[in-house]
Structure 1
C-alpha cells in the first residue's frame, strides 16, 4: 500500500477521517434536496415521505455509531478492537450456554434465544473481558493514541503509555465484607463497564434488527456474506455499542481531557484582547499560588 494512494493528505483519507462529520452533514442535506425535487407524483407523497423518514432515521443511527467508532480510534485502536471483541465473546458465550442449558425462551422476536444463554453470555463475557483487557493494554499498537488516522495497517507506534493502561495496586472497600486490594490496570475496570453493556444492552440491537426483518418478511438484510447475510447482519449489536462508546469515552474515561480540549478550543477562537486578559489572569493565579505555597 503506497503512501501516494493512502497518505495523510489523500482524498480518501481526508473524506473518511478528517472531514468525517462534514461528509455526513453534506450527505443528509443532499438527501433532503433529492427528496423534495422528486415529490412530483400525486397520490404517492405519503409513501415517499414515510420511506424517506425511515431511511433518514436508520441512516442517522448507523452514521452516529460509525462516527463514534472513528472518534474512539483517535484514543487508540484498543477502543475500537475491545468493544467489538467483547460483543463476539458475548455471542459465543450465549450460544454455548444456550445450547447446553437453554430452556426458557427470552424474547419472542428470537425464539432460539434463551434466558440461560443470555445470563451465561453476561458472566462469561464479564470474566474473559476483564482478563483480556489486561493483555491488550500491553500492546503499544492498541494503546497509543492516533494523531492522524490513515489506512496504514501496521504503523510504527512509539508513545508514552497512559497511566490508564499501567497496572497498580488498587484498593476496594466492600463495607461489612472488609477491604482488599488487587494489582490491576484502570482499563480493566472500564472493560467491566463495556462488557456489561455489550452483554446486557447490545443484544437488543440484534433483537431490533430481527424486528425489522420480521416486519419486512426477510431472512437477512442482504446476501453479501454467503450464509450470513449482509454487513448489517454481522454488526447489528455493534451499532448499539457505537452509541454507548462515544458517550462513555467523552463523559467517563476522558472527561477531564475533554474539558481541557474544549477550554483550549474556546481560547483559540477568542479575540486577541480576550486572550491577553485570560493569560494575565492565569499568571496572577499561578503567582498567588506560588506565594501561598512558599509561606
Structure 2
C-alpha cells in the first residue's frame, strides 16, 4: 500500500457527504484557477496552495450597482436607437425600409432560437438552414409583391425584370416547394414529432413577424405618416400606461402580465389620443410625410410632390345642435378628416396593440425565459421592443386600405393591363392614340407621331 502524502489536505463537509462527480469538480477547479485573484491554485503535484502573486479579488457588485449600470446602459442605447431611427426616417424611405428589414430578421432569429436549442441537442441536420431558407423565400415573395405593386411602371418596361415581375408568384411558390421537399427529405426516424413541431414553429414565426413586417413596409410606401404615426402612438401608449399605472393603478388588467392595470390601460388611451391628434396636425403640413413614395431617392430636404389625399385637407364642420350663447364657442369648426381616423388608430394602439405584448409575455412564460435575447444591451431582445409594433403596423395598413386609400387608375396599372392584355399591334395603337392626344394638347411635337408611323411602315 502506498503511503499517503502529508502535504495533501481534504476538507470534508461531514461523514454523510457524497463524493462529487469528477467532471463537476474538475470544471469548478479549472474555473477557479483561471479567475484572476483566485485564492487557490492547483500545483502540479496535486497540492492546493495559496497564490502569492495574484492581486486581491474585486468585491462583488451590489444589487444597487448592478441596477445602476443596467440603467446607464439602457439609457445610452435608448438614445442611440432614437437617434438612428430619426436619421433613417429623414434620410429617405429606403433607409427606413432597411431598418425595418433588419428588425424583422433579428426578431425572427430570436424567436427561432428558442426552439433551436433542442434541435442541436438532438443533432438534427439542416434544421437551422431550413429556417433561414424559408425566411429568405418568404421575404422574396412579400417584398416582391410590394415592389411590383408600387413600381410596376418601372419593372414592366424593363426587358430583364419583366419576366420576374409577371411570374413572381409562381417563382416564389416553386422556391417554397423546394424547401418543403427538402424538409420532408430531412425527416429522421425517431424525431418525426419534434421535426414537425419545428416546421410549425418556423411558419408561426414567419406569419407573426415577417408577414406583419410586410404591412409595415407597405405603410412606408403609402406615406411616411402611416409608418411613423402608429410607431409613435405605440411608444407613447407604453410610456403613459407605465406612468398612469404607477401613479394611480390599482386594478390588475390581465393575469399574464400582472403589472398592467386597468387605470394605466385607460389613462394611456386618453393621453395617446391627445398626442396623436397633436402630432398629426404637424405632420400633415409636410408633403414628405403625406405623399406616397414615387422616388426612393427622396429625403426630408428634397421632399416629395403629389396631390394630397383629401383626408389631409381641412373641411368645415357644423355641429348638429348649436352650442348655447353663453359658452362663446363656435358651432362651426375646421378640421382635417384625418383627425377622425387618427382617433380610431389611437384607440387601436391603446386597446388592441398591447395584446401583442401580452402574447409575447405568454410565449416567454411558456419557455421560462425573461427576454427573447440580448440584441439590444440593457433592453433585452429586439422582439421584446417590437412585439406591439408589428401588430399595430398590420392594423394601420388594414385600416388605411379600407377607409383612407384612394383606389384609382395608376400609370403602373395601365401599363400592366396593356402589356398583359393587348397584342403588340394593339399596344402600338394605344401609343399612337396617346400621341395624338398629347399633340392636340401641345405637349409633344407632331414629329413624334410621324416617327412612330414611319417605324410601323418599315416593319
TM score, norm. by length of structure 1: 0.77
In the TM superposition, residue 193 of structure 1 has moved relative to its aligned partner by 1.4
What is aligned with 2:384? 233
Q: 1:183 aligns with which of 311, 329, 334?
A: 334
Question: Could you tell me whether the CA contact under 8 Å between 2:219 and 2:393 is conserved in 1?
Answer: no
Give the Cα–Cα distance (whole angstroms) in 2 for the partners of residues 200 and 92 of structure 1: 14
Question: Could you tell me whether the CA contact under 8 Å between 2:212 and 2:390 is conserved in 1?
Answer: yes
What is aligned with 1:113? 260
Q: 1:35 aligns with which of 183, 187, 196?
A: 183
After the TM superposition, which residues 109-258 of structure 1 pair with which residues of structure 2 at under 5 Å, given as runs?
A: 109-149=256-296, 154=300, 156-160=302-306, 162=308, 163-173=310-320, 180-254=331-405, 257-258=406-407
Question: Could you tell me whether the CA contact under 8 Å between 2:242 and 2:264 is conserved in 1?
Answer: yes
Question: What RMSD over aligned residues (CA atoms) do the two structures have, in Å?
Answer: 3.5
In the TM superposition, residue 18 of structure 1 has moved relative to its aligned partner by 6.2
In the TM superposition, residue 53 of structure 1 has moved relative to its aligned partner by 0.6
In 2 relative to 1, CA 172–62 (structure 1 residues): closer, same or farther, beyond 3 Å? farther
Give the Cα–Cα distance (whole angstroms) in 1 for the partners of residues 357 and 349 of structure 2: 11
Q: 2:246 aligns with which of 86, 99, 111?
A: 99
CA deviations over 1:101-139 (Å, ceiling 9, x no partner): 101110111110001000001111012111211111112
Question: Could you tell me whether the CA contact under 8 Å between 1:102 and 1:117 is conserved in 2?
Answer: yes
After the TM superposition, which residues 10-49 of structure 1 pair with which residues of structure 2 at under 5 Å, given as runs?
A: 19=144, 25=172, 28-29=176-177, 31-39=179-187, 41-49=188-196
Question: Could you tell me whether the CA contact under 8 Å between 1:143 and 1:161 is conserved in 2?
Answer: no
In the TM superposition, residue 184 of structure 1 has moved relative to its aligned partner by 1.4
Question: Which secondary structure does the structure 2 equivalent of 1:19 belong to?
Answer: helix
In the TM superposition, residue 161 of structure 1 has moved relative to its aligned partner by 5.0
Give the Cα–Cα distance (whole angstroms) in 1 for the partners of residues 245 and 336 of structure 2: 32
In 2 relative to 1, CA 189–174 (structure 1 residues): closer, same or farther, beyond 3 Å? farther
CA deviations over 1:165-221 (Å, ceiling 9, x no partner): 2323233547999x9433211221121111111111000000000010000111111
Structure 2, unaligned runs of 5 or more: 1-91, 102-139, 147-167, 325-329, 431-459
What is aligned with 2:197? 50
Question: Which secondary structure does the structure 2 equivalent of 1:225 belong to?
Answer: coil
In the TM superposition, residue 56 of structure 1 has moved relative to its aligned partner by 0.6
Question: Could you tell me whether the CA contact under 8 Å between 1:17 and 1:149 is conserved in 2?
Answer: no
Question: Could you tell me whether the CA contact under 8 Å between 1:64 and 1:242 is conserved in 2?
Answer: no
Give the Cα–Cα distance (whole angstroms) in 2 for the partners of residues 79 and 58 of structure 1: 24
In 2 relative to 1, CA 17–63 (structure 1 residues): closer, same or farther, beyond 3 Å? closer
Give the Cα–Cα distance (whole angstroms) in 1 for the partners of residues 250 and 241 of structure 2: 13
Question: Which secondary structure does the structure 1 equivalent of 2:189 belong to?
Answer: coil
TM score, norm. by length of structure 2: 0.51
Q: After TM superposition, what 4+ stretches of structure 1 lie above 6 angstroms from structure 2? A: 15-18, 174-177
Give the Cα–Cα distance (whole angstroms) in 1 for the partners of residues 141 and 180 of structure 2: 22
Matched, 1:71 2:218: yes
Give the Cα–Cα distance (whole angstroms) in 1 for the partners of residues 217 and 296 of structure 2: 9
In 2 relative to 1, CA 139–154 (structure 1 residues): closer, same or farther, beyond 3 Å? closer
Larger Rg: 1 or 2? Answer: 2
Give the Cα–Cα distance (whole angstroms) in 2 for the partners of residues 17 and 77 of structure 1: 19
In 2 relative to 1, CA 173–68 (structure 1 residues): closer, same or farther, beyond 3 Å? farther
